[in-house]
Amino acid sequence: MNKTDIISTRNMKRDFIEDILKRTKKMEPIAEAKKQVDILEGKTLATLFFEPSTRTKLSFMAAMNLLGGTIIGFDDPRTSSVKKGETLADTIRVVEGYANAIVMRHPNEGAAALAAKFSKVPIINGGDGSNQHPTQALLDLYTIIKEKGTLDGLEVTLAGDLKYGRTVHSLAYALSKFDASLVFSSPPSLRMPEWIVADIKAAGTPVKEINNIEVQSDVLYLTRIQKERFPDIEEYQKVASAYVLDGDAMEKLGKETMIMHPLPRVNEISAEVDKDKRAKYFIQSFYGVPTRMALLAMVMTDR
Amino acid sequence: MNKTDIISTRNMKRDFIEDILKRTKKMEPIAEAKKQVDILEGKTLATLFFEPSTRTKLSFMAAMNLLGGTIIGFDDPRTSSVKKGETLADTIRVVEGYANAIVMRHPNEGAAALAAKFSKVPIINGGDGSNQHPTQALLDLYTIIKEKGTLDGLEVTLAGDLKYGRTVHSLAYALSKFDASLVFSSPPSLRMPEWIVADIKAAGTPVKEINNIEVQSDVLYLTRIQKERFPDIEEYQKVASAYVLDGDAMEKLGKETMIMHPLPRVNEISAEVDKDKRAKYFIQSFYGVPTRMALLAMVMTDR
Amino acid sequence: MNKTDIISTRNMKRDFIEDILKRTKKMEPIAEAKKQVDILEGKTLATLFFEPSTRTKLSFMAAMNLLGGTIIGFDDPRTSSVKKGETLADTIRVVEGYANAIVMRHPNEGAAALAAKFSKVPIINGGDGSNQHPTQALLDLYTIIKEKGTLDGLEVTLAGDLKYGRTVHSLAYALSKFDASLVFSSPPSLRMPEWIVADIKAAGTPVKEINNIEVQSDVLYLTRIQKERFPDIEEYQKVASAYVLDGDAMEKLGKETMIMHPLPRVNEISAEVDKDKRAKYFIQSFYGVPTRMALLAMVMTDR
């Protein structure tokens, strides 16, 4: 089967990533102008969201619309036959007959990989449990390049919930393909999984672990720490406060440190930060459109 | 920011309303023929429904389709990142990057105004709590003009739940821009809010308050009285029955009084009324399409 | 009103069915190539799903997209005004103003017929309670013809829950228009309703009733037996196991017996069966696209 699935950044080659970033650059003016083209005219994307999503789902829809294609899908498994107990493999074998590609989000780790095994059409992983969110990592890379001009030679701090955060897993692997160095910053109970740290180090990427966000890195990538992860609320409050970026924390942050966040944020970045020129999370969110346009066009055409 | 938001009828000028009604007239044959045009080809509308909707959502979708545009959105906040605690401001700042305009319905009064403040693209209020539903008021005006030929010189009775009903709030303000006189008919506990009555009177519009629907007005605009609004069921039954339009009530209604309702109705208009020539609520519902086509085309093009 | 509704196979004429099958044949290459045409360009389909659906909804959406049309709709009555207590008749009278045809699924038997009475635009029944699912029956017939070359002279066994299963009701009626003979196989408490058996026999179709799936028929059409239908779990386990198609059961099945299932399946067909050349349920599911393309094109154009 000669198809391209986008499942994980773990095994992506640097060349492949660079190709996507180049394609994204071509898509950016179209996304910026919000002006439809006909690259995927007549093609259909299925969006299967077994879990809540706003920006991933809407940006894929917007990307597909801009490329001239059409969309089918569901965004609530309660309204689909999953409710009746259908297996993912069966759902995929049915939906592949209806669409040219499938984007899916699923609560189970490995769900997208399983789907790719069963599907004749390309599968794009829109998030599988705590495992991977590769299209997010690609738009993250694109954002860094846009702002910093390169990925090589940068120090990137990933902070917050590194244990369950699929975006930081995908981004860590993606950055390990470049000459970046990584800082993992988290409460002890939410450290980056050992096997990921081992993989990253094995790739030759320098890794440092800290537990605060007073960094001078080129990039500070914050993620949300969820209350539910902690057995008692006191413990949560103690550690979470160290990962809140407010006016005070901004004072201690590097003057050229760009701030990223996959969004949604709850209270880990104060509203006062939004106007700081280092805050890049909204433009980052916008880059989801050209990145996903590039991915959709790549997997659904021979171009 | 040179954009047109549709947030409330309160501050709409008569000229602006008349312009929309004129544009609606041009859209009506397209909506009637259900024949697609290319006015918004390549444009994307985001429909963000934080609350249930059938006719507002579907008529906006139909309008956008007829104009040749595409749609992204969600209709259940449980399937979006709102569930994760994202603020409305953040959701808007993300979605504005994906679409040329945003239609939203939200349970909070003032939500659309807040969104308009944060959004670079036009915001259309599809209902914000008990506050406003301006696109409904515009289609209501259009319906009255179609049936009565004019808005000036008419007496319009707004009846039912005038306290929480956003449609009657928007319609009262909209009519106050014309030479209409208003009758507010409601149970004592559901009277039109004092500040709205004051605003309407300040605009020079004659206002009368009554508590029955045996009127001879040019228009009787009925709305639903919700059981939940009453502390005890007996109290509810006593007052609600006075606002039910059945065969008997029709006998006492003016022979030329047109009957409107924003729908959905539950039991406040009997099925036997549907065939009466005075009943106009289904054609009223249809006029939602050309009205929303006019609004969408206006806010998303320079025309 | 000169419109074609697709409500039930009960009163469909053989000519009408054959016409649809012929149209389906023309649509198949388009569905197979997933290449958009312009047959329904500019037309809008409303999809009103008052009950969960994956393949019916998604295949109708895919079909409409392939025909160049657009879609509006809801797939969760909790997000529509049904939640506010609107009657189906009212919902339909509103939505008919927004679309060129309506596909609906509803938990109540007869809902689609009621809708057709109120609607000026064609209604397609996507399943009404335990009553009918005519578009499924049509794609089932198409699948049989594709695999067996004909419908006449075949023996078809319908097995599982014949009491509540709307797909088998529709298929039984549809097959009774052809020279097929039918075998009904079910636990005693889930037998095909007497009035349907009577109708089928009255049409001259030979009918046999059995209670196992060790058949030599040309077709074995399996359906799911739902646990909830049984007062006690022991009773369920006793009968349900006789309707599970696994490796052992496959040994006893006719060597040329094609296996069909409307899907979703839960455990009534083992995964090991999937690779058997007699298993046809995934291609059957795919034929939903050309069948629904044929139906949509037929009801929305004069062709």
Task: Note the pLDDT of residue C77.
Answer: 65
Q: Which of B49, B67, B70, B118 to mutate to test the interface with A (most CBs of A within 10 A)?
A: B70
CB within 8 A of C138, min separation 6: which ones?
Answer: C9, C17, C20, C21, C24, C174, C291, C295
Q: Which helix (H) or strand (E) holds C221?
A: strand C219-222
- Please tell me which of the candidates B73, B76, B81 has its beta carbon nearest to residue A76: B76
Subunit contact A54:B81, Cβ cutoff 8 A: yes
Task: Note the pLDDT of residue B79.
Answer: 57
d(CA C290, CA C281): 15
Subunit contact C98:B59, Cβ cutoff 8 A: yes
Q: Which of B57, B105, B169, B224 is catalytic?
A: B105
β-strands B181-185, B101-106 pairing:
unpaired
CA neighbours closer than 13 Å in the CB half-sphere of residue A145: 19
- What domains appear along chain A, each with residue ranges and CATH number? 14-132+288-300 (3.40.50.1370), 134-285 (3.40.50.1370)
Count how many pairs of residues, chain A against chain B, have C-beta atoms within 8 Å.
Answer: 84
Average pLDDT for C127-151: 97
Q: What is the dihedral of CA B287, B292, B295, B299, to 10 degrees?
A: -170
Chain C residues with CB under 8 Å of A71 CB are 65
Q: What is the pLDDT along chain A (303 residues), one digit of tens a residue?
A: 579 999 999 999 999 999 999 999 999 999 999 999 999 999 999 999 998 788 899 999 999 999 999 999 987 766 566 667 789 999 999 999 999 999 999 999 999 999 999 999 999 999 999 999 999 999 999 999 999 999 999 999 999 999 999 999 999 999 999 999 999 999 999 999 999 999 999 999 999 999 999 999 999 999 999 887 788 888 888 888 889 999 999 999 999 999 999 999 988 999 999 999 999 999 999 999 999 999 999 999 965
Does the N-terminal peptide bond of residue B264 adopt cis geometry, omega within 30 degrees of 0? yes
Start-to-end C-alpha separation, chain B: 17
Chain A residues with CB under 8 Å of B301 CB are none
| Residue whose pair of structure tokens reads 């499938």 in the numeric block | A102
- The mean pLDDT of chain B is 94
Does residue C74 surpass a pLDDT of 90? no
d(CA A297, CA C158): 44
Subunit contact C34:A78, Cβ cutoff 8 A: no
| Residue whose pair of structure tokens reads 């006189």 in the numeric block | B181
Which residues of A are known catalytic residues?
55-56, 84, 105, 133
CB within 8 A of C65, min separation 6: which ones?
Answer: A44, A70, A71, A72, C36, C71
B29 backbone φψ class: left, alpha, beta (φ>0; ψ -120 to 50): alpha
Chain B residues with CB under 8 Å of A271 CB are 89
Task: Note the pLDDT of residue C258.
Answer: 98
Lowest mean pLDDT among B230-234, C43-47, C197-201, C245-249: B230-234
* C252-264 tens-digit pLDDT: 999 999 999 999 9
Task: Note the pLDDT of residue B206.
Answer: 98
Does the N-terminal peptide bond of residue A264 adopt cis geometry, omega within 30 degrees of 0? yes
Chain A residues with CB under 8 Å of C282 CB are 93-94, 97
Neighbouring chains of A at 3+ CB pairs under 8 Å are B, C
| Residue whose pair of structure tokens reads 């399409």 in the numeric block | B289
- Please tell me which of the candidates C34, C52, C271 has its beta carbon nearest to residue A79: C52
Task: Assess contact for C223 and C167: CB atoms under 8 A.
Answer: yes
Task: Note the pLDDT of residue C65.
Answer: 97
Task: Note the pLDDT of residue A77.
Answer: 66
Chain A residues with CB under 8 Å of B94 CB are 54-55, 58, 263, 282, 285-286
Task: Note the pLDDT of residue C235.
Answer: 84
Distance from the Cα of B113 to chain C's closest Cα (Å) equals 23
Subunit contact B263:C86, Cβ cutoff 8 A: yes
Q: What is the dihedral of CA B214, B217, B220, B226, to 10 degrees?
A: -50
- Please tell me which of the candidates A49, A61, A264 has its beta carbon nearest to residue B84: A264
Subunit contact A81:C52, Cβ cutoff 8 A: yes
- Please tell me which of the candidates A61, A75, A264 has its beta carbon nearest to residue B79: A75
β-strands A207-210, C181-185 pairing:
unpaired
* Residue C81 pLDDT grade (very low, low, confident, very high; cuts 50, 70, 90): low
Task: Note the pLDDT of residue C237.
Answer: 85
Distance from the Cα of C136 to chain A's closest Cα (Å) equals 14
d(CA B222, CA B261): 5
Subunit contact A62:B91, Cβ cutoff 8 A: no
Task: Assess contact for A88 and A60: CB atoms under 8 A.
Answer: no
Task: Note the pLDDT of residue B226.
Answer: 83
Does the N-terminal peptide bond of residue B290 adopt cis geometry, omega within 30 degrees of 0? no
- The mean pLDDT of chain C is 94
% chain B with pLDDT above 70: 96
d(CA C10, CA A296): 44
Lowest mean pLDDT among A138-152, B66-80, B149-163: B66-80
Subunit contact C54:A86, Cβ cutoff 8 A: yes
- Please tell me which of the candidates C43, C70, C83 has its beta carbon nearest to residue B52: C83
Q: Cα–Cα distances in Å, from A229 out to A233, A262, B80? A: 10, 19, 21
* B183-199 tens-digit pLDDT: 999 999 999 999 999 99
The model carries a pTM of 0.95
Chain B residues with CB under 8 Å of A36 CB are 41-43, 70
Which residues of C are known catalytic residues?
55-56, 84, 105, 133
DSSP state of A237: H
Task: Assess contact for C78 and C50: CB atoms under 8 A.
Answer: no
Tell me the two tokens of residue C80: 């529509």
Question: Which DSSP string do the residues of B174-236 spell out, in sequence order?
Answer: HHTTTT-EEEEE--GGGPPPHHHHHHHHHTT--EEEES------SEEEE-PPPGGGSSSHHHH
d(CA B244, CA B270): 8
Q: What are the two backbone dihedrals, phi and then psi, of residue B125, each rounded to the nearest 5 degrees? A: -80, 115
Task: Assess contact for B288 and B58: CB atoms under 8 A.
Answer: no
Higher pLDDT, C92 or B238: C92
Chain A residues with CB under 8 Å of C66 CB are 44
- Please tell me which of the candidates C71, C73, C90 has its beta carbon nearest to residue B264: C90
Does residue B212 surpass a pLDDT of 90? yes
CB within 8 A of B248, min separation 6: which ones?
Answer: none
Average pLDDT for B289-294: 98
Instruction: Give the chain C residue nearest A121 (alpha carbons).
Output: C34
* C199-244 tens-digit pLDDT: 999 999 999 999 999 999 999 999 999 887 788 888 888 888 889 9
* B125-145 tens-digit pLDDT: 999 999 999 999 999 999 999
Q: Cα–Cα distances in Å, from C276 out to A104, A209, C245, C280, C284? A: 29, 53, 12, 9, 15
* C182-197 tens-digit pLDDT: 999 999 999 999 999 9
Please write down the HEC assignment for all residues of B124-140. EEEEECCCECHHHHHHH
Task: Assess contact for C286 and C243: CB atoms under 8 A.
Answer: no
